[in-house]
Chain A
């Protein structure tokens, strides 16, 4: 039976893990390679690096981190952040990444996902979606249609199927790009479906409302997307307890659970999370 995956996520900046990880006494707690090894020993199912390096000049640093990690750790490694051209993907895969996660560039140029999945295979193209809940019939809500005329987004608007038009029929979520800074007026559920059609192999779905709150995933969002697509969905944003992970799999119907702080700060080990899930009937690899 296919097991549910537990994926720790590390924010990497300038070759160092930021946001802090304190679960193990390392000589150098900010070294992504050492932390990756520790998670490997704990039985993590995959590992995700999010490169939050700001400047283009520093982009090469993540390649070195990926290279050194892949020398040590024999499990799937996903790297996201700042991917703009096909060669960015190629360089990451050559350095040892198994998958790449793409967010902003997918929205700017959906065709990029088509090209990337054709060239490298869907299995290594993860589309990351940052989504924020929209209150239906919120009188203050105005879909930001003005930018739809921007030629940069022309591919997106061959049809308006993606446009966010909230009504009372169901809850709605809006896609954001640029690390959650720019609302795009796109319906997250429709966007996930579109990305599947374009060849994405997996969706990494982050609830912006829940991120950092430690009150659990947005289960309604997770379930809505998971039921809308036939590719795996990774739930992200909001885990504070093991019960939250359990709910992500059961109520949220996620295929994998991404979490950061509860593992980084030694609140729980990966193994404890898996034992908790197994006791409650969720298939995991122990």
Chain B
């Protein structure tokens, strides 16, 4: 069973539907026990970084996230669910993150005004290291993005893909049992669903 962590932000139903379409059972939950008992955990999220961290704290979910990752079971972060794993973000001043991946979350700083912020739409991923979950994702595939901030990991060896938007930025990371993506697999049509499918198939 897949637990999709619900901390009151974003459209979690679309992630759940994506798994259901791929024949996987997924629950949207904010119950720490359900999260800890689940075979796989997804941290989704849209919205502002500090609000999301505050909600995770309020709902008492920070330990559940950290323990899930420590336990070694497959963990998928989506969009803000990628950014929250980092040490800190510069969204609305400096906000502390979960500090599971060392590094920062910074705003796009592109001089050329033709690069609009948010980075919104379909952009391609350049695969640096291929996690098993990306088995059906050819290099250069287009996936759906919508974000104004991007992650900068200290340890470059965690980078799975980069994407170009006025500069190369890190569009996904892969470290041990953690796969976290800046784009939205649940909005990336067949290709995105293939990622959810492969994630669902992983052995816990």
Contact = CB atoms under 8 A, between A and B. Distances in A.
Interface stretch (B60-68, B94-102, B114-122): B114-122
Given A1-B124, A123-B120, A285-B142, 19 more contacts: A2-B121, A2-B165, A3-B121, A3-B122, A5-B122, A70-B14, A71-B17, A74-B193, A76-B144, A76-B146, A76-B187, A96-B11, A121-B48, A122-B118, A123-B46, A123-B148, A230-B113, A230-B117, A233-B116
A253 interface: yes
A3 B123 contact: yes
Interface residues of B, number: 36
Most chain A C-beta atoms within 10 Å of own C-beta, residue among B10, B122, B147, B192 = B122
A255 B47 CA distance: 22
B118 A74 contact: no
By secondary structure, the B interface counts as mixed
B186 interface: yes
Contacts of B116: 229-233, 255
Contacts of B29: none
Contact of B13 (A1, A96, A124): A96
A70 B146 CA distance: 18
Contacts of B46: 121, 123-124
A24 interface: no
Interface string B1-41: 00000000011011001100100000000000000000000
Nearest to B9: A121
The 6 closest A-B pairs by CB, nearest first: A285-B142, A121-B47, A285-B122, A2-B123, A123-B146, A232-B116
23 contacts: A1-B124, A2-B122, A2-B145, A3-B123, A40-B189, A45-B122, A70-B13, A71-B17, A74-B21, A76-B146, A76-B187, A94-B11, A96-B14, A96-B17, A121-B48, A122-B118, A123-B120, A123-B146, A201-B118, A227-B113, A229-B116, A255-B116, A285-B122
Interface string B92-112: 000000000000000000000
Contacts of A45: 121-122
A285 B189 CA distance: 12
A98 B145 CA distance: 12
A285 B142 CA distance: 7
A258 interface: no
A4 B142 CA distance: 12
A120 interface: yes
B157 interface: no
Interface string A78-92: 000000000000000
- Which of A40, A70, A122, A123 has most chain B Cβ within 10 Å? A123
B202 interface: no
Contacts, number: 92
B13 A74 contact: no
Interface in A89-120: 93-94, 96-98, 118, 120
A118 B193 CA distance: 30
Nearest to A4: B121
Given A76-B144, A76-B187, A94-B13, A202 B193 contact: no
B189 A75 contact: yes
A98 B142 contact: no
B70 to A, nearest CB: 30
Interface string B123-159: 1100000000000000000101111100000000000
A232 B144 contact: no
B164 interface: yes
A188 interface: no
Interface string B35-61: 000000000001110000000000000
